[in-house]
Amino acid sequence: MTDHGKRVAAMLMTMGVICACGCGSNYRHGNVDSALTHIENFEYAEAEESLNNAEKQGEDERLLCRARGILYRTLGQYDLAIDEFLKSLAATDGIPNDMDYDTNFYLADAYIKLGRYPEAIEVYDAILDIRKKDKDAFYMRGIARLKNEDHDGAYSDFSKAMSLSQRDYDLRIMIYKALSEAGYEDEGKAILEACLSDGDQNMTNYEKGQISYYLGNNADAQSYLELARNERDSQKAPVVLLLGQTGERQGDYNYAVSVYKTFLAEDPNHPDIYNQLGLCQIRMGDYDGAVSSFEEGLALNDTAYYQALLLNEITAYEYAGNFTQAKALMEKYRKAYPDDKDAEREEIFLSTR
């Protein structure tokens, strides 16, 4: 293990030491909480100000450094983020909790973003030394190893992650996608095919539909998903999202639009479905309809989907030839997501329109 790996491991081991009450940590963190709220609302200058106030007022160093790391990570300043996450871990003086491990996952992700895969792997190694059955750590170490061109190590980690969660079909789909993107699609498909051939009696119609969809068996996927859509107690949104996409794959955009709109008329609180509806409408050449769909999704203020919805709305305006509005929204987008290099290039393109 390198010096860096030993340092991360030592920090994690320190987290396991129980200290007596009154260790001296200051757990006031009002400004840190405000900073995190500002980050969530894309108010980065305000977040920086809150963090500076937190430092002046002596708020908890572990939380302060972690929040600074999150801010820098959001801004794409991964080297600075890494420094702050390491400071946060070094400041830990109690029993490890979920937040401490979450910080390590942030740290490893920053290393991956910079292409520093061996260092990311060392972080996951350290996590797994303490949490020997952490499915997410095995999966993410597999991703880092795959990017580091260690196929066998990655496949071993993926296998361990799957063995720790026998019925986690979402995990298997993520592994399929990772292997496919790395050029090992046949291996990924074999994992999915095993899901169907294993004969799990508890496998739901939605799960069968998911697996069939990613295997490219669109007709089977549509059949299973239609059954799932009509089940009384199933979660309808993910079913509808995938069902519409089976129609899109087969070029039946009218069917897909009908599926999305029928669902949204009954339950409009789903930005992911507004986003997919808008994308479908773009493919149909209905740019005004797409803009409307993206705006309805954005109005729900769900941070998990806000970025995709805003970027896709810009695309819809571009296709419609409304470059003035596209430019205005791109300025808003770039302010909220300054680390998106693709958007930076798109902004340059728009400046010439």
What pLDDT score does 153 carry? 98
For residue 235, give the 3-state DSSP assignment. Answer: coil
Percent of the chain whose predicted confidence (pLDDT) is above 70: 88
Lowest mean pLDDT among 12-16, 194-198, 211-215, 342-346: 12-16
155 or 91, higher pLDDT: 155
Percent of the chain whose predicted confidence (pLDDT) is above 90: 76
Lowest mean pLDDT among 87-96, 112-121, 246-255, 297-306: 87-96
What confidence category does residue 353 fall into, taking pLDDT thresholds of 50, 70 and 90?
low
CA distance 299 to 86: 37
Among 223, 268, 269, 266, CA closest to 242: 223
What pLDDT score does 80 carry? 97
Q: Which residues have a Cβ under 8 Å from the Cβ of 2 and sit 6 or more positions away?
A: 118, 119, 122
Q: Which residues have a Cβ under 8 Å from the Cβ of 338 and sit 6 or more positions away?
A: 44, 75, 76
For residue 236, give the 3-state DSSP assignment. Answer: helix
What pLDDT score does 29 carry? 75
Distance, first Cα to last Cα, the chain: 53
What confidence category does residue 346 fall into, taking pLDDT thresholds of 50, 70 and 90?
low
What pLDDT score does 23 carry? 35
Averaged over 206-231, what is the pLDDT? 94
The three-state (H, E, C) secondary structure of 281-343, written as one string = HHHCCCHHHHHHHHHHHHCCCCHHHHHHHHHHHHHHHHHCCCHHHHHHHHHHHHHHCCCCHHH
Lowest mean pLDDT among 12-21, 121-130, 283-292, 318-327: 12-21
CATH domain 268-353 topology: 1.25.40
Quick count: other Cβ atoms within 10 Å of Cβ 28?
13
Give CA angle at 110 (311, 163), nearest 5°: 95
What pLDDT score does 342 carry? 75
What pLDDT score does 28 carry? 67
Lowest mean pLDDT among 64-78, 227-241, 333-347: 333-347
For residue 152, give the 3-state DSSP assignment. Answer: helix
The mean of the pLDDT values for the chain is: 89
| 205 has a pLDDT exceeding 90 | yes
What pLDDT score does 241 carry? 96
Quick count: other Cβ atoms within 10 Å of Cβ 146?
23
Lowest mean pLDDT among 28-37, 71-80, 341-350: 341-350
Averaged over 50-60, what is the pLDDT? 94
- Model confidence pLDDT, tens digit, residues 69-100: 999 999 999 999 999 999 999 987 766 678 88
* E strands in the chain: none
339 or 9, higher pLDDT: 339
What confidence category does residue 13 fall into, taking pLDDT thresholds of 50, 70 and 90?
very low
What pLDDT score does 337 carry? 87
Q: Give the containing element (helix H, strand E) for 227.
A: helix 218-229
Lowest mean pLDDT among 157-161, 196-200, 295-299, 349-353: 349-353
CA distance 286 to 87: 51
Tokens 């806000």 sit at which residue? 306
Alpha-carbon dihedral sign for residues 194, 198, 203, 208? positive
Token pair of 293 as six digits? 């769909």
| 222 has a pLDDT exceeding 60 | yes
